Structure 1
């Protein structure tokens, strides 16, 4: 089978119309270039060039081959560049998991960073709770995800990504929503409260449980839900109060007023980037490095 060097030599001679000029273009001498083209003709079994003292002309077979030869050389060059970009992590597909609440703000950081730093990497997005993400990461069904700590699997690598304050979501017209002073955690003692589900939203359930215990406050849990948007809908319906990540303000829920809360003892909702080291590839390595540089200031 003919080689790429033989095709490149033939294309150069065909375009220059002269062996000497073609050899100079290829930074080689004329005799080996002539042998290279002759070898190509022998392998194909047809004459590609009419040679004369004034130069060369393409035969009918040469004209037929020239267009295909150019395409083959271009495809070969693109293939090399594609392989190098893939090895450098500049191309590929990454399956990215995220929790519902992290999608309000932090997913934008991920997408903006990927577009700016890795424009040829495709992200396939999957909304999943933390436990489902961890299982998918270990099974190789997910490449990386935004999850809530703690993560007990030693196979999972972690990178702190964001620490977000909690705010109170209050029904419009509620006394704590209308008074001048910001509500305090202790103001939640004995009030109807919308709590996170202990199984599907265990991270926030445990976080708030510890917060209330330290503040010696005992809200009255009237409903449990796993998703922030569901809790806000219940707040808007006047069923109670809840504490949500500050990013939930972006949901602009009807009938809901957001207020900062004092007495939180620096309680924050943590978010981490997690991936399985055993499944790490060039594109994932490049994305993690980009996010390490570009995560929000609150995560630093």
Structure 2
């Protein structure tokens, strides 16, 4: 089999049609260049150049080889560049898991940052609840997770990415609150939701939100009258839209809420304000061998840096 140096020598002579000029172009002397051509002709069993004292010409065999030799050399250069880009994290593929809310807040900001700094990296996006993301990070099916703080798994590390807060979602124009309904723009004390039908987060897929809502109700001295469960915010908002009750959702969910749902800030008295903090974390497997993941982690900073900011305050 012929070698790349032999093809490089052949292309140089074929384009220059002069051994001296080709040797100068390749920064070598003429005798080793001639030997490369001779070895190539021997390997192929064909004469590639017609030589006289006055000129060098391509034979029919040489003319056939030239475009293919150029393609081979171009492919080698491209392959070398692609491998270097993947190795440095400038190219490759990253699988990102994200929650429904993160898909409307942190994810677009992260993708925009990556597009500006890692334009040759491709992304595979998978909407998953936090527990499924954690499973994917452990198994290697997910490279980066945008998830809620849950019980840590060995080998998975995370850091804060974004803060949000919960707000109350009610059916628009609902009489559920009766005379206690606050005026437009006024915060709503959670005590007003005492024993109202509460649309709640699943204990399995959305334990983080489930426990946070219960803590908020307890701090306000309100009874959580749970009537429906769902694992994702859009499903809970669909229940609210249907008039089946009230729920608490991240403030960032207001940007994609369906018609027929109104929102109220939660009254922050009695320690509720200190509890009402929704965290989103950036998680990855500490043993990842994907250079693009490591490069992305360098680009996405914690909230204290110049990274992704809170969409609606803390």
TM-score normalized by the length of structure 1:
0.92
Deviation, 1:284, is 1.7
Deviation, 1:69, is 0.7
Map of 1:271 onto structure 2:
280
1:16 equivalent to 2:25? Answer no
CA distance, structure 1, for counterparts of residue 240 and residue 121 of structure 2: 40
Map of 1:144 onto structure 2:
144
Kindly report which structure 2 residues correspond to 1:110-149, keeping only aligned pairs within 5 A, or say none. Answer: 110-149=110-149
2:255 to 240, 246, 250: 250
Alignment deviations for residues 123-151 of structure 1 (CA, whole Å, 9 cap, x no partner): 22222211122122212222221111133
Tell me, yes or no, if the aligned pair for 2:199 and 2:247 is still in contact at 8 Å: yes
Tell me, yes or no, if the aligned pair for 2:16 and 2:22 is still in contact at 8 Å: yes
Map of 1:296 onto structure 2:
308
1:59 equivalent to 2:67? Answer no
CA distance, structure 2, for counterparts of residue 248 and residue 198 of structure 1: 20
Kindly report which structure 2 residues correspond to 1:158-197, keeping only aligned pairs within 5 A, or say none. Answer: 158-174=158-174, 176=181, 178-197=183-202
Q: Sort the Cα spacing of 1:298 and 1:180 in 2 relative to 1 into closer, same or farther, 3 A.
A: closer
Q: Sort the Cα spacing of 1:280 and 1:178 in 2 relative to 1 into closer, same or farther, 3 A.
A: farther
Gaps of 5+ in 2: none
Two-structure CA RMSD over aligned residues (Å)? 2.1
CA distance, structure 1, for counterparts of residue 9 and residue 18 of structure 2: 11
CA distance, structure 1, for counterparts of residue 306 and residue 65 of structure 2: 50
CA distance, structure 1, for counterparts of residue 258 and residue 183 of structure 2: 17
Q: Sort the Cα spacing of 1:27 and 1:213 in 2 relative to 1 into closer, same or farther, 3 A.
A: same
CA distance, structure 1, for counterparts of residue 185 and residue 60 of structure 2: 90
Q: Sort the Cα spacing of 1:189 and 1:280 in 2 relative to 1 into closer, same or farther, 3 A.
A: farther
Map of 1:282 onto structure 2:
291
3-state DSSP class of the match of 1:298?
coil
Map of 1:202 onto structure 2:
207
Alignment deviations for residues 213-246 of structure 1 (CA, whole Å, 9 cap, x no partner): 2222224323222221121122122222211011
Tell me, yes or no, if the aligned pair for 2:202 and 2:230 is still in contact at 8 Å: yes
CA distance, structure 2, for counterparts of residue 148 and residue 98 of structure 1: 10
Q: Sort the Cα spacing of 1:181 and 1:39 in 2 relative to 1 into closer, same or farther, 3 A.
A: same
Deviation, 1:169, is 1.1
Tell me, yes or no, if the aligned pair for 2:186 and 2:264 is still in contact at 8 Å: no
Deviation, 1:23, is 1.6
- Structure 1 or 2: larger helix share? 1
CA distance, structure 2, for counterparts of residue 257 and residue 122 of structure 1: 38
Map of 2:43 onto structure 1:
43
Count of aligned positions:
300
CA distance, structure 2, for counterparts of residue 75 and residue 255 of structure 1: 58
Gaps of 5+ in 1: none
3-state DSSP class of the match of 2:252?
helix
CA distance, structure 1, for counterparts of residue 97 and residue 280 of structure 2: 12
